[in-house]
Amino acid sequence: MKRSLSYSYNFEKFVAAMTHMATKVSDLTKLRAAKLLYFADKYHLTTYGRPIVGDCYVRMDHGPVPSQSLDLMNELISPFIVRGMKRPTLDVMRQYLEVDSRGKQPRFQARKQPDYSALSESDVEALDRSIARFGRASITSVWNAGHKERSWKETPPLQKIDYRLFFDESSAEQRELLAMLEEDQAGEELLNEGLAAGH
């Protein structure tokens, strides 16, 4: 069985992406933010060969959920509830984001402009595509969209989603890109194993 595609989490990109979304979406709840990140990551991975944030997505009742990003959002809403979260992490998020808790669901708002040096042009393109599709959509339609995803349907509850499930099997172009990514990752793993064996 092929190994899942894996990526390293990029905290700086997460903060920049969240701040970018908060400047453009007035009702940026935790659920909406999670779905915007998912669809932006999916588009970027299947178009450019890498996700934006590199999160570990999990199949939850509410759809595909970016687990590390969710922890960070929860920490910003209710500080110090996430075990092991470092104070500097919270301080960095607070420089860019604040939480409006007056409504039924807490909403993220931007304190200042994002650090666009953390995002590539294609990152912003993917985020903006996701925002255009779901930034103003009803929460019900956002929720339904997540549950129509192959990645959600083919993953058991509470299990990590394989990034390979982001790709459209019916698209020759996406199949070719996926094969290339799998080959690159396999080569990288062999190289790392060889380096480890040499020590």
pLDDT in tens, 151-160: 999 999 999 9
What's the pTM?
A: 0.90
Closest alpha carbon to 14 in 111, 92, 86, 78: 92
CA distance 165 to 81: 32
Domain that holds residue 67: 11-166
**Is 60 part of any domain?**
yes
Same domain, 49 and 88: yes
- Residues 6+ away with beta carbon under 8 Å from 68: 9, 14, 55, 56
Same domain assignment for residues 127 and 29: yes
Q: Is residue 2 part of a domain?
A: no
Tokens of 124: 């912003």
Number of domain units in the chain:
2
Contact 146, 63 (CB under 8 A): yes
User: How high is the mean pLDDT of the chain?
Assistant: 92
The confidence score (pLDDT) of residue 187 equals 72
Same domain, 32 and 60: yes
If you average pLDDT over residues 46-59, what whole number do you get? Answer: 97
- Is residue 1 domain-resident? no
Q: Does residue 173 share a domain with residue 142?
A: no
